[in-house]
Amino acid sequence: MEYFVYILFSKSLNKFYIGYTQMLENRLNNHNYKHKGFSAAANDWIIVYYETFNTKKDAMLREKQIKNKKSRNYLLFLISSENNPIGSENPDFSSGGS
Condensed to tens digits (0 to 9), the pLDDT of residues 24-66 reads 999 998 888 877 788 888 899 999 999 999 999 999 999 999 9
What DSSP state is assigned to residue 86?
T
pLDDT above 70 covers a percentage of the chain that reads: 89
How far apart, in whole angstroms, are the C-alpha atoms of residue 52 and residue 69? Answer: 19
Q: 25-34, 65-74, 88-97: which has the minimum mean pLDDT? A: 88-97
What is the 3 state secondary structure string of 5-56?
EEEEEECCCCEEEEEEECCHHHHHHHHHHHCCCHHHHCCCEEEEEEEEECCH
Confidence bin at 95 (pLDDT 50/70/90): low
Residues with Cβ within 8 Å of 87's Cβ and at least 6 positions away in sequence, in order, are: none
- pTM of the prediction? 0.86
